[in-house]
Structure 1
Amino acid sequence: MANKGISLFQLNNQIKGVLKNSFDSDLWIVAEISEVRYNQNGHCYLELVEKDESTDQIIAKARATIWAYTFRMLKPYFETSTGQRFSAGIKVLINVSIEFQEIYGYTLNIKDIDPSYTLGDIARRRKEILNRLEEEGVLEMNKEVDFPEIPKCIALISSPTAAGYEDFTNQLENNPSGYKFHYKLFPAIMQGNQAEKSIIAALDRINEYEEVFDVVVIIRGGGSTADLNCFDSYWLAFNIAQFPLPVISGIGHERDETIVDIVANVRVKTPTAAAEYLIDCFDEKQAYHESLQEEFYNGINEILLEASENLHFLSNKFSPLVKTILERKSNQLLLANEKLIHSAKQLTKSHSFNLQNFKTKLKLGLEHRLSNEKSHSEHLQSKIGIRVGRLLENQKHKLSLHDHSIKYLNPENILQKGYTLTLKDGKIVKDISSLSKSDKIVTRFKDGLVESEIQKVNPKKHK
């Protein structure tokens, strides 16, 4: 007879029995929460996983349940003890009983949780991240970036709706000294699973305008330790540590120190403290300048006082000597003045005699010169008269010759001698080549005109 096998229910029932016999008491297990869901009755449903430490691949998975009456006690106990939200992504040490139902299969019923394990795991992960950053040589890189003496242009990473953003801007804009700051908001998500990616994206945008800004300020208001989990991210810390501008972190309260705080160039407690730090930089620079100015004024006053004392000393020391020298020079000046007056009188008298003598000689010289010039002028006038007379006679004779030539060449005279003049179009014909058959010509005689039409032109042939 053929084997009919067993039913699925029977198989599951046998598995249930095996599990119950093998795990007859509760167990403490370590797992990572990969998913958390709640229903309207207050029950919590979890998915637990274990990952390979070297590859980060999931090597085990199980469903778990915390019934409502247990979850109402475990959740606040865990969050108060650890400062972490009971959420996906954390490792837990939990006390479970193993259950198997024929319909729903294998599940774990969570009865208790040990917060100290989660705290230890968080501390271990932070230590691992810090060690990795140090081994890669980037842990202190941003701290080594020179902080500007006057951080005037600020790249700000924050949520635009956060109270911390408003606190920062109000503190910056209403500073008592009236310093002017220029800031640009690069909005980002500041908590939750998307915060790491969002803040890194904001840093990338700022990096495109690196030459515009002096510093980067990352701010958010305080919150629970769980709210700050994203700031313990390796990749976020890695990007901040290597950023070319100095980074100021103001993301929590005094009791909270994240990995981002550790790698940043400057760490302050709150957004308000970040604004105060920037204002203090201006105050320190102003105080330094005022100190230099005061030192300069004091130095000048000391120099002037010393010079005044030296001058007073020299004045007292040399006053009698100067007085004696001045009296001696005054007497010498009076004597020189008398000599000068006497010499001036003698010189004036001598120059007066010389001037009179020169005046007499000049008068005689001028009279002689005028006489010579007058004689020369009369002689030239006589010579010019003779030459002009001759020139006029020559010109008169030439004019007479020109007049005879004009009369001789007058066409009327030529006509009187029996010659004629031929005209074409009112112009005298001088060459037969200018005439053609049928041309109209006028022949002028001494006593009249004859109009003709040329019948034939016979030019003279050259031999």
Structure 2
Amino acid sequence: MSEISREILSVGDLNRAIATSLEERFDTVWVGGEISNFKAYDSGHWYFSLKDEEGQIRCVMFRGRNGQVGFMPQFGDKVEVSASLGMYVPRGDVQLTIQTLRRAGMGGLYEAFLKLKAKLAKEGLFDEERKRALPTHPRSIGIITSSQAAALKDVLSTLARRAPHIPIVVYPTLVQGPEAPAGIIAALKAANEENVVDVILLVRGGGSIEDLWAFNDEQLAYAIAHSDIPVVSGVGHETDFTIADFVADLRAPTPTGAAELAAPRKDQLLQELSAIQQALLQRVNQRVEREAQTLDQLALRLSHALPNPDRMREQITGLQKRLYQSWSVRMDNWKRNQTHLQSQLELLNPQRTLERGYSVILSKDKNPLHAIRGPKELIPNKEFQICMADGEAEVRFAEVKITP
């Protein structure tokens, strides 16, 4: 009878009781493991499992939490999470509801990153109101990065393709290691003191949080914020975030993206120039029409006020012809000047020179923009880069014979 009278629980009630017991028994726990079965849903929530050699557990991280992670987890990533332990009642699965997630082994760095980020945000360094728009037509562009970085080559190639007419100034510096922050700050200071560029690209390729740590320096953040020249940050890959990204006037997902944001395309500039020309011609025509109407009104008044209206009409007709001729000559001059400027712009395009069969030899052990100008600079067994109309090639001369 005692077995019959005992309360019978539903499965849902049992699962809820287990969930309540787990939540009461465990406070927030830190768990380390390897990402498995990761899926990001359209809702923004993440579902995956954490596993190691002895077992696995289901995990959920909701959209409001995972927006602070700074990278997209991948299968096999080793991570550390802080979470509350509970149960998903409909399936009866024990699961972790994750509050924070970081790469394994970087807890100290990540916590320092979050602490500095919160401090600078409170000081207003990330506020959109203090950030400046980039110049639409920069006179020159500055690049702060390592002279040996692959990111520099990508940026220079992008700028050469989009806007070959814009001069480039490279401010080389270390971008990794304990001396990198001071070097980057010095490069920013030099660019501001010289004041020859209208926008600065601060770029570096991807890497681990340790590799990118120079861009999480507090003094560098203040230097970027106090720069008189707008700064575009293009550090790492799209999922990498640094303090420099938050304080810069604009963040680009990659170094190439930074170059694309800073440099207008040449064909777009020509379109804008054509639009300005059309607007100018329209304004001129409108002015001519208004002046012609004024002359007609004067002619009508004079025809009634003067004793010899036929003669005055002839004079007015002559004046009208002279006016139209004057405007016609001026408009023709403007059109010729416009055509000349467009021709000059095309002649200055270095690509046209290369297409005529010429090549440019660049020294690789000096500034990347240094072009070889004399045969004595062609040193055997040194690497050089040759730029041609259809591409680039890296060469090493076995022997150089200088002809008189």
The TM-score with structure 1 as length reference comes to 0.39
Structure index of larger Rg: 1
The TM-score with structure 2 as length reference comes to 0.44
Higher helix share: 1
